[in-house]
Amino acid sequence: MTQHAKLSDLPAVHEVLERLLPALANVPRSLLVAEVRRALDEIRREIRNGAQSVSTVEERVESAVVQLARPSLEPVINATGVVLHTNLGRAPLGELTALPGYSNLEYDLATGRRGKRDTHAGRLLERLLEAPAIAVNNNAAAILLALNELAAGAEVVVSRGELIEIGDGFRIPEIMTRSGATLREVGTTNRTRIEDYRDAIGERTRLLLRVHPSNFRVTGFASRPELRELAALARERGLPLYEDLGSGCIVDLRPFGIDEPLVRDSLAAGASLVSFSGDKLLGGPQAGILAGQPELVARLRRNPLFRALRLDKLAYQALGNTLRHLLLEEWDRIPALAMIRQPAAAIRSRAEAFLARHPRLRARLLEGQSVIGGGATPEQSLPTWLIAMEANAARAEKRLREGTPPVIARIQNDTLLLDLRTVFPVEEEELAVALEGLGKETEPPMNTDEGQ
């Protein structure tokens, strides 16, 4: 069929259906009708805008049906070296087989009565943190819940230098304001003193808030009170102190070059309540975890928002698996932690073996850096070894990204780089097939002895 040049050329809906039905007989008629109308509307807009139609109605409908029938969420190979890649789901999950059928999500098998879904994670979190805890659907939800329960209609004192913006343009102050609390900003962008908090406390103050700079750093002429100082002031004035930790580091990663505060240390320093993400340095699924004084956690659990923000059964299953591995110190069963713990020498050995198994690949090894990502540990990186491909970087990156499975690499100094730190060993052969498929994208050989 020729392309349509004017509105009078467009066929009727039933005419298109007659031509499509032999090939798409198994597709619901209602869906086909809707997609035909959608395609016709698109072509009408193009004609009215003076654009040349690039495909027929039938081609558009067939393409749309194929796209709708194929899941849009699919696995990718992350060869960027960014461990908590926000666009790729942050912390990669380990093996997880969803429980089929029914489960005891809110059923107490011992008593035969209704139970509470948060017990599936709560008892594990309490063992790990030595404090009661609950989970909601992300850390922004945790902040919303905490401020709504503890300070709605009143004031929260917070340093001006901690009112940050997180991913995709979301700003913490806007989330806080939605809670119904009023923010009382103190200090300046770079310096806040304990006296600033003390002077700001008034009759309407209900909470002191501290936001850990997990995704930013203020350096140079900068300072802020120690957590213990704030905790002492909070006790003196009879106020709770809430710290948003962001990254949620439970395992000490300093031996591996990552210096992040531990959740238990914040609680031990006097924070009444802490919150953090489940899909950052905890290494689990998306979640926001709140832990602290029993009476405060009990209040949060009773707040109606807790039900609105709660996790579903699949998230609880994934979170429970992660927490059990943490409790039993099975670090390598948590993919994000296993990746962070890999020494550069081990990655070099993997990369050398990879290239030796696939001698047709035109590549060299370079020293480089992996990053944690996900809004965690800014300005901290991990030494690694990179596979630098001898290819037109932009074309090769696009081809890898559009392949099956998609391979996500990075470009630096016009060179296509792959970091095996974030590639699972079982993915290496698929990665090799994708790289060998680049074929004509390669350029003249480079000096294989060169390092950087």
CA–CA gap between residue 391 and residue 399 (Å, rounded): 11
* Residue 180 lies inside a defined structural domain of this protein: yes
What is the C-alpha to C-alpha distance for residues 315 and 114, in angstroms, rounded to an integer?
20
| 377 and 268 fall within a common domain | no
Is 134 part of a structural domain of the chain?
A: yes
Q: Are residues 132 and 267 in the same domain?
A: yes
Whether 381 and 370 have beta carbons less than 8 Å apart is answered as: yes
Query: Are residues 349 and 283 part of one domain?
Result: no
Question: 134 and 167: one domain?
Answer: yes
Residue 171, strand partner residues:
165
Amino acid residing at 122: G
> Which residue in the block uniquely carries the two structure tokens 């990665």?
431
237 found inside a domain: yes
pLDDT of the residue at 259: 86
Answer yes or no: do 291 and 416 share one domain: no
Instruction: Report the distance separating Cα 122 and Cα 133, nearest Å.
Output: 6
Last residue of a domain, one of 310, 328, 363: 310
Number of domains within the chain: 3
Does residue 353 share a domain with residue 218? no
Q: Considering the domain boundaries, does residue 446 fall inside one?
A: no
On whether residue 188 sits in a domain, the answer given is yes
Could you give the angle at which helices 313-327 and 119-129 cross, rounded to 10 degrees?
A: 30
Residue 97 half-sphere exposure, CB side, CA atoms within 13 Å? Answer: 2
- CB 428, CB 436: distance < 8 Å: no
Token match 């001898």: residue? 390
The pLDDT score that the predictor gives to residue 50 is 84
What span, in angstroms and rounded, lies between the C-alpha atoms of 96 and 280?
A: 18
215 and 249 fall within a common domain: yes
Using omega within 30 degrees of 0 as the cis cutoff, is the peptide bond preceding 405 cis? yes
Instruction: Verify that 278 and 389 share a domain, yes or no.
Output: no
Q: d(Cα 307, Cα 309) in Å, to the nearest integer?
A: 5
Do 144 and 50 lie in one domain? The reply is no
Domain that holds residue 362: 77-87+337-441
Q: Name the pTM for this structure.
A: 0.88
CA distances (Å), 74 to each of 77, 85, 139, 407, 445, in order?
Answer: 10, 15, 25, 12, 34
Any idea what the CATH number is for the domain that residue 374 is in? 3.90.1150.180
Q: Are residues 303 and 157 in the same domain?
A: yes
Report pLDDT for 166.
65
Domain CATH number, residue 204: 3.40.640.10
Residues 301 and 347 reside in one and the same domain: no
pLDDT given for residue 169 in this prediction: 62
286 belongs to a structural domain: yes
The helix (run of H) or strand (run of E) holding residue 35 is helix 29-48
pLDDT at 219: 66
Compute the distance between CA of residue 169 and CA of residue 165 in angstroms, rounded to an integer: 6
Cα→Cα distances 2→16, 39, 247, 306, Å: 14, 15, 56, 57
C-alpha to C-alpha distance for 185 and 196, rounded to whole angstroms: 9
363-373, strands of its sheet edge to edge: 363-373, 376-389, 415-419, 410-412
Per-residue pLDDT 10s for the chain (452 aa) are 446 668 888 999 999 999 998 889 999 999 999 999 999 999 999 888 888 777 899 999 999 999 999 999 999 999 999 999 999 999 999 889 999 999 999 999 999 999 999 999 999 999 999 999 999 999 999 999 999 999 999 999 999 888 876 665 667 788 888 899 999 999 887 889 999 999 999 999 999 999 987 666 666 677 888 999 999 999 999 999 999 998 889 999 989 888 888 999 999 999 999 999 999 999 999 999 999 999 999 999 999 999 999 999 999 999 999 999 999 999 999 999 999 999 999 999 999 999 999 999 999 999 999 999 876 666 678 999 999 999 999 999 999 999 999 999 999 999 999 999 999 999 999 999 999 998 754 444 444 444 43
